[in-house]
Structure 1
Amino acid sequence: MFRTGSVGRFLFLCGLVTINLWSLASVYGISRQSVPADTIAIFKEELSDTMSTLEYHDEFLSFYEKNNYQTVLLNRFLRNGQLAYLLSDLESVADHGLDPEIFRASEFRLIMEEINREKWFRDIETYRKKVKLELLTAYAVLKYSTIMEFGLVEPQSVDSNYFSTTVTADSTFVTRVLERREVKNYLDSIQPRDRVYKAFQFALKSDELAPGKTLEETKSVLSVNMERLRWKNRQTEPKYVMVNLANFSLDVIDQEESVLNMKVCVGESGRWASPQLNSKIYSVQVNPVWNIPVSIAKSETVRNAKRDRYYLANNNIAVYKDGKRIGNPSAIDWTINNAEDYVFKQMPGELNALGKIKFLFNNDCGVYLHDTPLKSAFKKKNRAISHGCIRLEKPMELALFLFGEGAKYEQIKKAMLNGYPQAKYIGLPQSVPITLTYFTAFTDDKGDVVYCDDIYGLDEVLSARLIAGR
């Protein structure tokens, strides 16, 4: 930037005097009305080089343009050891199952130590280091804040079946973080305080082993489940229904305590995997009709009908074409007819795959909770056996929680005992939140960490993204 020659050297020295005076003023909090043009050019250059490959590039450009390209955060944080406190937190993120290099911690420490050794900003390269430390500070504070409050990885990048509403950082959040006047109290305030999260941290530090896993594998499981806890997708109402797909379990939560627990069956791994989502249960259907999806009709219903011409009638499955019910479905030759041309409905009764009751909540995946006539399935260890919907071990206990004692609950019981079952919808007095989620580590009633299998293989995907830092 500066070339040889007497005039050039003179201008260079004059510029350094300006830089040194400004730098010292910045360190000791002395305000200044204007910034030398040369330092602005250096700042812009470093901003472009340092931030071009990192998140928040546009937000940083806006922030520093507004602040006339000054080392704003260093002016705030160099005093009172606040920058050292930030570095300490960055280097301790293994307690959160994270790698310090996500925040460029080693580079941060190196430059900070170099600048601390410089009592005077003697040359342009030292000033560049100061600007770089400013930008690394801004990046680290914002990255750390974002991860602690929202998580590091986007859930949809891990699971294509993820549909839960999840809050993420926006421009308002970025601005609020960069406007912080101090570090220590702020960093302390954003530490996750969830008791399950704390239990995971304790397990991580104590080097405990999950059953059948190595220490490295155990730490990986804890790390990915801590990340899931950081995602802002959890129910905020005091009462809700939670299905942990990985553990084949349903809990009714009231004031953060489980008041009802039962086994469930969930979707098979692969095309039938159950989704992760948030919704609200608004109604039940007693003696439900099962509208068999085309995919299941093609892969199972018609295949069985080919083997046994009476399969449809014996399983109470009605067949429709062009909106009209076919009187004798056993006469259909499925070797020349396509399943796509027909609609299949399993009518209410003892054989219905949905049992005697199903619980409805809005979602785009067409899934719901339901009873099942196959009670033996709940004795299996691996209960990933459905086509995506959730089969319930204790449907009537869930109905009692949702409706409470009273006329509607009695109506449900009476309808289910009817010898001539007919489908009937009964709306809830008030909708109840439900979340279908996925945790391969959680805590029991004593607060101890419990582990389960990664039935959909999502832990490995999430672990790789945590290691990559995105």
Structure 2
Amino acid sequence: MGRYRAAIAGFILALATVVATATASDRSMNAALGLALQERFPLPFTVAANPSLPDAALQQFYFDRDDDPAWFTPAGLVPEAAILTERLSAAAEEGLCPDAYFLAEIEELREYAAETQSHRLIEDQRRLARLDLRLSEAFLTYAAHLIHGRVDPATVHRDWHANLRQVDLAGLLEFALAEGRMKTILDDLVPPHPGYRDLRRALADYRRISALGGWETLPGSVTLRPGDFDPRVPALRRRLAHSGDLGEGAGAETLYDAETAANLRNFQRRHGLSADGVLGPSTLEELNRPVEERIRQLEVNLERWRWLPKTLGERYIQVNIADLALSAVDKGQTVLTLPVVVGNAYRKTPVFSASLQYLVFAPYWFVPPTIFKVDKLPRLRADPDYLEKHHFEVVAADRRQALLPLEGINWKEVRAESFPGLLRQSPGPWNPLGRVKFIFPNPFAIYLHDTPDRHLFASERRAFSSGCIRVERPLELARLLLQDQRQGDPRRLLAAMEAEEPQRIDLLRPWPIHILYFTAWSDEEGEVNFRRDLYWRDLALEEALTTATAPRMAPAPPLAGLPESPPQPPTFFQVEH
């Protein structure tokens, strides 16, 4: 009986020793975490910080936990650490850089933690605290990058206006750890758009091509037409095979046969070229772009997908500036595609989202101040009859817009800054807005409209406007938007377009409209398309992605030694009242 009681007492003493040791270890790691946080963030934390930013979220996360470790239990690292590390090691598949998430350091510290636990060595709490902090920081940074991109578009492009998603990152991490939902949360953070997934697959394909040495450069400058014999034809077929454009049935000789020409037309279509099957300078230039350039193009466009909301709408209008095209999408299917003319290099069309709310048939054109000063006023001074010849009139600059008499205006003395009203042009075939405009209120005064200059749609590079978007075949767009309203009757639409007075028609169900800029995307057949960087936005974004770096703590101590645990740190967190 005495031996039994002694055994029980020994067990209780051992258990108390283990608990005391674990408690002391927890206190030691808590202290080490406090020091690591103080090293990482010298200034006190305030609860007013933005919870969608990784730095603020990291401080909030540990503030809410009183510096308690998040990734450790008495049994060691929680399984979520392995799940996160595996996902970070695959970050390149998303067009992201694993180095931005401290992957090498996390793997080294995880190995240290596993070795010390398996061999029952004395653990350096500073290293374990650093691992805890790095895992949290990696999750928060990676999550932020998936939710709203690695860089803020406003810092890269002056005319890019994205409504970035705002998420409580600290709360997201706490939920993932507390509920054991790390994999589910990480899966849900990836943009759900089919276009994003298709670009991700294309990125993997093009990286495989690069790993195998890329594609060869086609020599020569002589134009090649179907039916020609040319020693470059076998090389052309190999090049088309690399990018998946070579179909079955193409010959192997130097004859540029019909099947190879059809394959080249597919390549031309995917690259926004005239699909004529002729190998000319423009097509040769696109064929000879290195695969590494295409990889970078895919990476920057994946970043642009991360700037978008999780859904664009059940039905919506999309204008891709770089593609010079408008698409109407309903329930995931493209129901209409139209060529457009966009802003020129000096007056770029901005990127933003809005709600298309109404149409104006037979619209007036109000001359913008800059055009009035630079173009119209000199003409009015030179020709007093210019207004009447070109269907202009002067109206008051107020809501009523009453006509102003012209008799009292001395055009030779008028200054643009003191002009008494607005210059507007009457509806008609002369009007630069054409027969209809599509209005989605926005602070940039951008809208869609018809145009009398229809010859511009024959050009491959249609950047001619002052920012607004001209639409070819606007009647088709009007019919789609008004298909559920009585005004959508074709005869009514034609009558409204030919009218002499403006007519506004409100949409019963407004359409979301997204003005975007993608130089790489996939079509409905899953084929990747590339376009020229019309506004040089790829270059600016690529530079921003290259220079963006994750915040760093001081270098970790070498793993060879096991220095003593640090002393209790001073109070770090302060709440701003």
Unaligned runs of 5+ in 2: 1-16, 44-51, 210-242, 244-270, 272-285, 550-577
Q: CA deviation at 1:383?
A: 1.1
TM-score normalized with structure 2 length? 0.69
What amino acid maps onto 1:417 in structure 2?
E
Which residue matches 1:228?
304
SS at match of 2:322: helix
Question: Which one of the candidate residues 219, 239, 250 is aligned to 2:326?
Answer: 250
TM-score normalized with structure 1 length? 0.84
What amino acid maps onto 1:286 in structure 2?
F
Q: 1:107 to 1:417 in 2, by over 3 A?
A: same
Question: Which one of the candidate residues 448, 464, 467 is aligned to 1:388?
Answer: 467
**Does 1:113 find its partner at 2:111?**
yes
Q: 1:102 to 1:39 in 2, by over 3 A?
A: closer
Q: 1:346 to 1:362 in 2, by over 3 A?
A: same
**Does 1:340 find its partner at 2:417?**
yes
Contact 1:76 1:181 in 2 (8 A): no
Q: CA deviation at 1:77?
A: 10
SS at match of 1:382: coil
What amino acid maps onto 2:341 in structure 1?
C
- In 1, Cα distance between the equivalents of 2:173 and 2:81? 19
Q: CA deviation at 1:76?
A: 9.6
Q: 1:328 to 1:357 in 2, by over 3 A?
A: farther
What amino acid maps onto 1:278 in structure 2?
S
SS at match of 1:325: coil
Question: Which one of the candidate residues 22, 36, 40 is aligned to 1:50?
Answer: 40
Q: 1:406 to 1:118 in 2, by over 3 A?
A: closer
What amino acid maps onto 2:127 in structure 1?
K
- In 1, Cα distance between the equivalents of 2:381 and 2:95? 53
**Does 1:367 find its partner at 2:442?**
no
- In 2, Cα distance between the equivalents of 1:76 and 1:363? 56
**Does 1:265 find its partner at 2:341?**
yes
Q: 1:23 to 1:45 in 2, by over 3 A?
A: farther
Contact 1:50 1:132 in 2 (8 A): no
Which stretch of the first structure deviates more once superposed, 113-122 or 450-459?
Answer: 113-122
**Does 1:274 find its partner at 2:264?**
no
Q: CA deviation at 1:113?
A: 2.1
- In 1, Cα distance between the equivalents of 2:78 and 2:132? 17
Q: 1:17-71 deviations in whole A, cap 9, x for unaligned?
A: xxx967985xxxxxx5x87655433221112223569953443333324334232
Q: 1:329-368 deviations in whole A, cap 9, x for unaligned?
A: 99622xx432232321111111000001111111111111
Which stretch of the first structure deviates more once superposed, 405-414 or 48-57?
Answer: 48-57
Which residue matches 1:73?
71
Contact 2:327 2:334 in 1 (8 A): yes
Which residue matches 1:29?
none
- In 1, Cα distance between the equivalents of 2:178 and 2:299? 30
Q: CA deviation at 1:430?
A: 2.2
RMSD across aligned C-alpha pairs, in angstroms? Answer: 3.2
What amino acid maps onto 2:534 in structure 1?
I
Q: Percent identity?
A: 26
Which stretch of the first structure deviates more once superposed, 77-86 or 190-199?
Answer: 77-86
Which residue matches 1:377?
456
Question: Which one of the candidate residues 26, 31, 37 is aligned to 1:41?
Answer: 31
Which residue matches 1:101?
99
- In 2, Cα distance between the equivalents of 1:246 and 1:77? 55
Contact 1:319 1:329 in 2 (8 A): no
- In 1, Cα distance between the equivalents of 2:547 and 2:21? 38
Summarize the alignment of residues 65-214 of structure 1 with structure 2, pairs less than 5 Å apart: 65-75=63-73, 82-119=80-117, 126-170=124-168, 172-173=171-172, 175-177=174-176, 179=178, 181-207=180-206, 211=286, 212-214=288-290
Q: CA deviation at 1:155?
A: 2.2
Which stretch of the first structure deviates more once superposed, 255-264 or 235-244?
Answer: 235-244
Q: CA deviation at 1:466?
A: 2.0
**Does 1:411 find its partner at 2:401?**
no
Q: CA deviation at 1:182?
A: 4.7
Q: 1:117 to 1:374 in 2, by over 3 A?
A: same
Which stretch of the first structure deviates more once superposed, 409-418 or 195-204?
Answer: 409-418
Which residue matches 1:316?
391
Q: 1:416-451 deviations in whole A, cap 9, x for unaligned?
A: 234xx1112122222222111111111123110001
Question: Which one of the candidate residues 310, 313, 317 is aligned to 1:237?
Answer: 313
**Does 1:465 find its partner at 2:541?**
no
User: Which of the two has higher C-alpha Rg?
Assistant: 2
Which residue matches 1:15?
none
Which stretch of the first structure deviates more once superposed, 162-171 or 152-161?
Answer: 162-171
SS at match of 2:150: coil
Which residue matches 1:13?
none
What amino acid maps onto 1:156 in structure 2?
A
SS at match of 1:241: strand
- In 1, Cα distance between the equivalents of 2:134 and 2:107? 10
Unaligned runs of 5+ in 1: 1-19, 26-31
Q: 1:224-257 deviations in whole A, cap 9, x for unaligned?
A: 1111112233654311111111111001101111
Contact 1:97 1:219 in 2 (8 A): no
